[in-house]
Amino acid sequence: MATADVLIFDTTLRDGEQAPGNSLSPEEKLRLARQLDALGVDILEAGFPAASEGDYRSVREIAAEVRRPVVAALARCHDRDIDLAGEAIGPAERARLHVFISTSDLHIREKLRVTRDDVLALVGSSVRRARTYTDDVEFSAEDASRTDPDFLCRVVELAIAEGARTINLPDTVGYALPNEYAAMFRDVRERVPGSGGVVFSAHCHDDLGLAVANSLAAIGAGVRQVECTVNGIGERAGNAALEEIVMACQVRHGALDFRCNVHPAEIYRTSQLLSYLTGVFPQPNKAIVGRNAFAHEAGIHQHGMLQNGLTYEIMRPEMVGIPRSTLVLGKHSGRHALERRFRDLGYDLTETQLSDVYRQFTALADRKREILDEDLLALLHESFHDAPEEYQLTHLRVVCGSVSPTAEVRMTGPWVGERSSRGTGDGPIAAAFTAISDILGRQVEVLSLSLRSLTPGRDSVGQVFLQAKIDGKSLSGNGASTDIVEASARALVHALNKARHADRLESSSLNSVYLWGV
């Protein structure tokens, strides 16, 4: 049997982004879309244009700029959804319209409040309408794994007859077991006329931790597209993790008879970018991309590793693009050394980016003797400006300890000159935040704040991620410094710059609420 090609359909920007805490601005989505292109995904689902004005615009921007992958947009089986999605993907080199409707009796009755006949009528008219925008139409039967098999076959047959080229049968609620999920595909493919002419697709959620196992089982049952997300992000327990599917295929290619086009060496970079943008990092033991995924600390393992790497290592960190942590740069390293190190890490910087990062690098080198790769990556991610840096922190001084904490802050902004303020709070970070929001006159409510130390050692850089409601809008920000109060203040200023930028764009995408999804 010949090795099958399996298409990787990435839905990080749609199914992943719609989960709470993952909301991204249009600029951030575009940045991630470029990296997904570099990663080599075949289909990039860019969003759900009917969900909000911002989503519509962001899908259109991605369709216009990212040329290699097929760009897909999601739509319910509603005329307006389909028209908006169709227009949004208009500029794409290759566009796909993805329509979906629930087919399980539970969903038909409780969610849609219609009949099976109504669903059939909507499937027919919607696939037909989608075809007026593109020949590449995907149809998804939401909650397929809990749908009556006879009805599922009727729906799929109709969608194929109306011209859908890809048939996605999701395990929307993460309920199926691998053998059941595979059997469903075998059954449908065997019974439905025209099945041989379309691509079947798997879309699995991880509520029982089986999303990847179910996706692999589906491939064994003839599925030739899997839908997945980077870091496995998504609703509830998330989606099947792209990196796990790709690496299973790489490492076990003898046993799993399929190939895919994703470049494994871009996996870590993509995972990190997504984490920096959302402020949510995978748990340390997360397969492939977690912080400890390649660490061997237990003595017995370490001994084995020293003898021969293969004793405990089934893949090497370099395969997924994890930089080796080596002591590289210091105070006397020049621009060239910095540029070269970034190139080794896989980043070609523009002149402007390099100047920006170099400025921050020298400031950091004053405080920290040895600068490691992790520090460099943090600087780089900080220098990616998602929004113009209209507000800048120019001075910060805090007093805390046995006295009640106070902070003194000076900032520059779109106004002329500097403004300063003093704030108090329960702790030094709270005091700094009070002073900053006072200068800007904005309502700031911090929803979460987390701190990571990037490298070992006493002079480690602290990276702060925060999510805040600024005048009612949810935004994230990050900042890095050897001083955690300063890192926190920078993270807040970053979020405030994004808030100002969002006001300008009058974007509604930042607070878009999704009620539906596959």
Residues that bind Zn ion (CB under 5 A): 15, 518
Which of 242/377 has CB closer to Zn ion? 242
CA-CA-CA-CA torsion sign (38, 40, 41, 45): positive
Nearest to 469 by CA among 436, 443, 451: 443
Nearer to Zn ion by C-beta: 239 or 482? 239
Least distance (Å) from Zn ion to the CB of residue 229?
A: 9
Handedness of CA 123, 125, 130, 131 (dihedral sign): positive
3-state secondary structure of 76: strand
In the complex with Zn ion, which residue's Cβ is closer, 142 or 162?
Answer: 142
Closer by beta carbon to Zn ion, 15 or else 27: 15
Minimum CB separation from Zn ion for residue 263, in Å?
24
The residue (of 45 and 243) whose beta carbon lies closer to Zn ion is: 45
82 touches 99 (CB < 8 A)? yes
CA 80 vs CA 21, 51, 87, 316, 492: distances in Å: 28, 11, 11, 48, 38
Give least dist CB 234 to Zn ion, A.
6
Give the residue among 403, 373, 332, 367 at the shortest CA–CA distance from 484: 367
Q: Which of 40, 14, 74, 489 is nearest to 260 (CA)?
A: 40
Nearest approach, Cβ of 235 to Zn ion (angstroms)? Answer: 6
Query: Which of residues 15 and 45 has its CB atom nearest to Zn ion in the complex?
Result: 15
Crossing angle between the packed helical segments 149-161 and 178-191, to the nearest 10 degrees? 50
- In angstroms, what is the minimal distance from the CB of 239 to Zn ion? 6
For residues 325 and 373, the answer to whether their CB atoms sit within 8 Å is: yes
Residue with tokens 């729906």: 155
Give least dist CB 100 to Zn ion, A: 9
Nearer to Zn ion (CB atom), residue 232 or residue 477:
232
Question: Least CB distance from residue 38 to Zn ion, whole Å?
Answer: 24
The two structure tokens encoding residue 330 = 């210091």
Contact at 8 Å (CB) between 371 and 330? yes
Least Cβ distance, residue 517 to Zn ion (angstroms) = 6
Determine the Cα–Cα distance for residues 6 and 259; give it in Å rounded to an integer: 6
Secondary structure class of 55 (helix, strand, coil): helix
Question: Whose Cβ is closer to Zn ion: residue 6's or residue 518's?
Answer: 518
The answer to whether 288 and 247 have CB atoms below 8 angstroms apart is yes
Closest-CB residue for Zn ion? 15
